[in-house]
Structure 1
């Protein structure tokens, strides 16, 4: 049973990776291909989250699996939910509940990070993982909560940028999980084993920033709003 659960988790991870890359780099944003592979990405990520919790609860505990699963799932969930919120401009109880639970989870992960570091005299890789992803998790949830409170007072096309940021963040987390879990295929020396943890973010973050800026210019929002005049 445990082997089947882990296998399903791995299959979902590979599916998420492929569908996420297709959604990010192929097809028109909002087009048929984008929506179809996006749906595959969403449900694959959902099973990654559920199977991760089951593995942690009944097979073995993994701080890495817990942190990545919660972060990537909330990014995916909020990225899809924002497409609903753009119509009503009113957060539902499910949005508030998910954001608050995720905020508390992020704070818990930060505490876990400090705990690991104190036990390992600040030399725990997992401790740093928990600490930094805990910050990202809590910050993402808090930013969404602030957005819920603003209601209709959002900038033009806010939902587009929120969707892009969340789904790309989830994709980076998925790639990070893949590179870390399969680090041996890169044949890295021991002193460079930290690279799989950070390279996806180092590469992905500038790409997200570039895309965000490109669409801000296209939609004439933010610093490009003056172009409307």
Structure 2
């Protein structure tokens, strides 16, 4: 059972990376390739989350695996739900519940990170990891809740929300893949920390660039104001 869980978890991780690349860089946004790859990405991420919970519960506890699994799946779940909510503008109870659970998890993780740092005289990498992912998990969920409560969403809000959430989930899964690969850490020696920041360092500017390009295309944000002058 342990072997099956681990192998399926790894297989789902590889599938997530491949389908994420396919959805992000190949095919038209909203086209058949993008939608198909997106579905594979979602269900692969769902199994990563489920198998991770089973592994840390019944096989061996791994704090890093738990953090990444919860963070990446919530972003994937919320990113997928945005496409449903855009039609009705009415989030379902499951959307509220998932957001509140993510906030509680994120805040708990943030506090735990501070505790780890204090106990280790601020030398615990796990402490910094917990603070960073705790903050982003809680903040992402809070932004979603604010969006749920907004009476009149911004133009094309769902497009940018979907793009940011799914891209964030992909960056998290890529980070997990790199960090979990011990061989890469050994090859980099003392520079192994690069693997923690490289996906976000490359991905964040790309997300910002494409978000700005779509704002210009859709005429929203600063581009909408420019058109009114």
TM-score normalised by the chain length of structure 1: 0.96
C-alpha displacement of 1:228: 4.0
Secondary structure of the equivalent of 1:61? coil
Q: Which residue of structure 2 aligns with residue 97 of structure 1?
A: 97
Q: Distance in 2 between matches of 1:51 and 1:32?
A: 28
42-51 or 178-187, which moves further after superposition? 178-187
Superimposed CA distance per residue, residues 76-122 of structure 1 (whole angstroms, 9 cap, x where no aligned partner)? 00001000111111111010000000000000111221222223221
1:146 matched to 2:141? The reply is no
Q: Distance in 1 between matches of 2:174 and 2:19?
A: 12
Secondary structure of the equivalent of 1:188? helix
Question: Where does the alignment leave 5 or more consecutive residues of structure 2 unmatched?
Answer: none
Q: Distance in 2 between matches of 1:63 and 1:185?
A: 20
Secondary structure of the equivalent of 1:117? helix
Secondary structure of the equivalent of 2:46? helix
1:68 matched to 2:48? The reply is no
Question: Where does the alignment leave 5 or more consecutive residues of structure 1 unmatched?
Answer: none
C-alpha displacement of 1:188: 3.4
1:123 matched to 2:97? The reply is no
Q: Which residue of structure 2 aligns with residue 157 of structure 1?
A: 156
CA contact (8 A) 2:185 2:192 kept: no
C-alpha displacement of 1:24: 0.5
TM-score normalised by the chain length of structure 2: 0.96
The two structures, once aligned, show a CA RMSD in angstroms of 1.2
Cα 1:189/1:228, change in 2 over 3 Å: closer
Runs of 4+ in structure 1 deviating by more than 4 angstroms, as ranges, are none
Q: Distance in 2 between matches of 1:125 and 1:7?
A: 27
Q: Which residue of structure 1 aligns with residue 55 of structure 2?
A: 55
Aligned residue pairs total 228
